[in-house]
Structure 1
């Protein structure tokens, strides 16, 4: 409920501070006194667009502040908690809006600066203004759906559908992720398989590149090697004074010495060993000479193989050993990359089952909504008939979304439609009627849905337009009944409605220091008699009129 309202420098309001009780509150006053300014101010507190024209002439800024009770408003409490705007434990919500004559407007909620969009989100849970304003939650399709489901006791069925709907969404996501992972796994497996085949087909030997580098060096200098090895062979064996022949002569001399002095036995053995090693050396040099190959085709083959190995090494680590380690690694990875078709079939089967449940629950919910809508139609039309709107009809139309599109709330779109007279096609509430008639239709709907309507504050601005007498009294009684569950404000010119208020505020325009200002006071019992009498009798108020006014208040 709205506990306090403070308005500074808005239109003809200078500085106004009001405290409001619970129940059905009426505001009366002559035309132009500023009653609608109060409604506009509350509208600004719930996010309506502001204009610099609303600022009082000569003021640098206008300020509106409202203090609301948040107890017993779970939806409001939830959004404030989510936005971290809950404030202290007082159970109060303080909204302050500042309108400077130049510069950006400012909004604070419980002392926290917030954007206008946040105020609008919160305002939806606070106040419904019915009349010339466009803030009625009743115009929103989702609100109409919520009210219908609450009225029909379908919230559990809707919650069951909600769970299935999001279970389907989760499975769709899981399947999509699985398919993406499967695609990626197959791509990865193809890549690894290509690499393995490339390395295996290369038939690389350990340190092969080192051997080939050496072979290339030898082949490229084979003529030099041949010359050197020939000279070495000649020096060792072929020349007349070759090393081997000279060692042979030395061996002959040592043998003669040994024949005379046997102490040279070990020396003779050493020389014999040296001769044997020298002969082996000569043999190896001869073998080396025969192995030297100056074939250019072999050099071309070696260089091509080295180029290929260098490419492989560049791709897979820089060395033959790193290439072989990479082969071992990708072989292990390929063994671990198994794509399970069984898993995909399992997900698809579970998804198909849930979708069948979703369709079944959606159809059940839709069928129940249509039954509830018929009951709601009957009750609202009865309320309208009670207000002598005998040729008007109300319908809660339940239609399937296009192409049977499912959303979290089911497959239905709910729209409240109205026809004002016989033969007139029903149209959406926002488009069908305006002003007082719309307020009265809204009142009938709110009366039927009083238990389900979660918005605590209702403001009726034009509800008495075009009515009077007994109808006005019935309208007032319905608002008084609504006041048992909501805080209901009504701006009225009709004494029949004003007399039924649980509390009564008078709005007057007075002149101070040559400037008009709005003055609002809560009336005591006797003051209410005078105000009702004024509304009954105009400028001339007789004792009879006062007596009637008193009786009306006593009856109300």
Structure 2
């Protein structure tokens, strides 16, 4: 029971303390008196969303503190014990929340720092805030299944259904993607095979184009290369004119002069050694130039072969939109991988199909259990709602909770459902399971049961909502 509510700098309130007594407490006042502000403050301390906008103008923060007797709330006591927030010496729970201009919130439970999640869990077990237009949610049939599940305590089972539904959605999407991808590749398989054979038969080698271009350069200039290298060799080592000595002959003729210099001045010894080394170096260069010259190939057939190969590489590069042989090799490997993927995709699809079958069987089992419990709870809810309606001046009203399983032909709203096999039939599985739930009433004797959304008046719908709230507070007991 809520005993006391302290509000500071919230909306228009600077400071107020409200003390509640046992039983029914009523806040009255004309429009704008602040009734909704007090309810808003209560919602704030119970974990409802808020922002710094609620802080009173001129203040740095707003705070709300609620003092609650939880002696008759075992679920709250259990929750507090689990979170080590229970005051073992008292049945009084003190909740407080402070919100600052910077948007930061401070949550305190029994003088201990806490979290928004914990505050909300406590609030859900303590208070139900019913807004002035909330009864209108009963005009939405999708709300009815939530009420029935809440009444039956089916939260965990519903979550299991949501999880298996999400798993199936992901698997089905993955399967459909793989099938589409495989079919697209199958349409291109013949092209891929042709491309792979063409590129394989070309026997591509990384770097060969550069080698061929160099070889073509040499072949096209073979005559000039021979002439230049031959001239260099002759001038260095083997002159054709006996009257013009080669460079090496001239150097060798200087040896005796260096020998005489060394006899006169020993400091020339180092220069003489370097001189001898230069002769040996030039002789080596001359020999290598000779070998280079003798390797020059004048084969016109080889020129044709090189040109033909380069032309093939150029055509392949242009055809496959790459600028190098390395690009062609990469393209070839990519095509080979696509062909491999085509052969593997069927295996992947089969594996996913097996997983879908397993998940569908599990989903069917969970949904069946959920549906069975809903059918059972629908009967209990009917009895309890009708009992409460009798106390609200609707003694003759018949209330029915209609639970129907969704056939595959049924259209459900935006319909994100999945068709699954269930008891040898196709049925729709949604995040809510395989059921649709709708509340029906017959306000007067002799009237047929009709959907709540089509027959109930504003006054009736408000009383039905009050009856539902009362029953949900009591529970299935």
Instruction: Give the Cα–Cα distance (whole angstroms) in 2 for the partners of residues 31 and 204 of structure 1.
Output: 91
- CA gap of 1:72–1:190, structure 2 versus 1, over 3 A, is farther
Offset of residue 382 of structure 1: 2.8
Aligned runs of 1:375-524 on 2, under 5 Å? 375-398=380-403, 400=406, 401-402=412-413, 405=417, 406-416=429-439, 426-428=451-453, 432-434=457-459, 440-452=463-475
Instruction: Give the Cα–Cα distance (whole angstroms) in 2 for the partners of residues 207 and 11 of structure 1.
Output: 80
Offset of residue 345 of structure 1: 2.2
- Which residue pairs with 1:72 in the alignment? 75
Instruction: Give the Cα–Cα distance (whole angstroms) in 2 for the partners of residues 398 and 358 of structure 1.
Output: 19
Q: Which one of 307, 324, 327 corresponds to residue 315 of structure 1?
A: 324
Instruction: Give the Cα–Cα distance (whole angstroms) in 2 for the partners of residues 66 and 381 of structure 1.
Output: 35
- Which residue pairs with 2:25 in the alignment? 27
Aligned runs of 1:114-125 on 2, under 5 Å? none
Shifted more, 105-114 versus 383-392: the winner is 105-114
- Which residue pairs with 1:201 in the alignment? 202
- Which residue pairs with 1:480 in the alignment? none
> Structure 1 length as normaliser, TM-score?
0.47
Give a deviation string over 1:454-506, Cα, whole Å, max 9, x none: xxxxxxxxxxxxxxxxxxxxxxxxxxxxxxx9xxxxxxxxxxxxxxxxxxxxx
> Structure 2 length as normaliser, TM-score?
0.52
Secondary structure (helix, strand or coil) at the match of 2:309 reads helix
Give a deviation string over 1:489-542, Cα, whole Å, max 9, x none: xxxxxxxxxxxxxxxxxxxxxxxxxxxxxxxxxxxxxxxxxxxxxxxxxxxxxx
Give a deviation string over 1:60-94, Cα, whole Å, max 9, x none: 987533356797249988xxx9xxxx7x7347673
Q: Is the 8 A contact 1:394 1:419 kept in 2?
A: yes
- CA gap of 1:132–1:430, structure 2 versus 1, over 3 A, is farther
Q: Which one of 81, 85, 92 corresponds to residue 89 of structure 1?
A: 85
Offset of residue 14 of structure 1: 6.3
Instruction: Give the Cα–Cα distance (whole angstroms) in 1 for the partners of residues 147 and 125 of structure 2.
Output: 14
Q: Is the 8 A contact 1:209 1:309 kept in 2?
A: no
Give a deviation string over 1:328-384, Cα, whole Å, max 9, x none: 998997998661634422432442464366457646744653454244223311332
- CA gap of 1:137–1:169, structure 2 versus 1, over 3 A, is same
Structure 2: runs of 5 or more not aligned = 88-92, 244-289, 407-411, 418-428
Give a deviation string over 1:228-277, Cα, whole Å, max 9, x none: 98999xxx9x99x9xxxxxxxxxxxxxxxxxxxxxxxxxxxxxxxxxxxx
Q: Is the 8 A contact 2:440 2:450 kept in 1?
A: no
- Which residue pairs with 1:17 in the alignment? 17
Q: Is the 8 A contact 1:6 1:65 kept in 2?
A: yes
Secondary structure (helix, strand or coil) at the match of 1:369 reads helix
Q: Which one of 294, 299, 302 corresponds to residue 306 of structure 2?
A: 302
- CA gap of 1:113–1:170, structure 2 versus 1, over 3 A, is closer
- Which residue pairs with 2:128 in the alignment? 128
Aligned runs of 1:42-441 on 2, under 5 Å? 42-43=42-43, 45=45, 47=48, 63-66=63-66, 72-73=75-76, 89-90=85-86, 94-96=95-97, 108-110=106-108, 126-130=126-130, 132=132, 134=134, 144-149=144-149, 151=151, 161=161, 164-169=164-169, 171-172=171-172, 175=175, 194=195, 197-198=198-199, 200-202=201-203, 210=211, 213-214=214-215, 216-222=217-223, 225=226, 293=298, 299=303, 302-303=306-307, 305-306=309-310, 315-317=324-326, 339=344, 341-352=346-357, 354-355=359-360, 358=363, 362=367, 365-366=370-371, 369-370=374-375, 372-398=377-403, 400=406, 401-402=412-413, 405=417, 406-416=429-439, 426-428=451-453, 432-434=457-459, 440-441=463-464
- CA gap of 1:123–1:105, structure 2 versus 1, over 3 A, is farther
Give a deviation string over 1:15-55, Cα, whole Å, max 9, x none: 4335668xx53326886798776545424546488999997
Instruction: Give the Cα–Cα distance (whole angstroms) in 2 for the partners of residues 348 and 71 of structure 1.
Output: 47
Equivalenced residue count is 385
- CA gap of 1:332–1:397, structure 2 versus 1, over 3 A, is closer
Q: Is the 8 A contact 1:8 1:64 kept in 2?
A: yes
Secondary structure (helix, strand or coil) at the match of 1:302 reads helix
Give the structure with higher Rg (CA): 1
Secondary structure (helix, strand or coil) at the match of 1:408 reads coil
- CA gap of 1:197–1:67, structure 2 versus 1, over 3 A, is farther
Q: Is the 8 A contact 1:130 1:442 kept in 2?
A: no
Offset of residue 410 of structure 1: 0.6
Instruction: Give the Cα–Cα distance (whole angstroms) in 1 for the partners of residues 132 and 53 of structure 2.
Output: 20
Q: Is the 8 A contact 2:212 2:306 kept in 1?
A: no
Instruction: Give the Cα–Cα distance (whole angstroms) in 2 for the partners of residues 47 and 227 of structure 1.
Output: 94
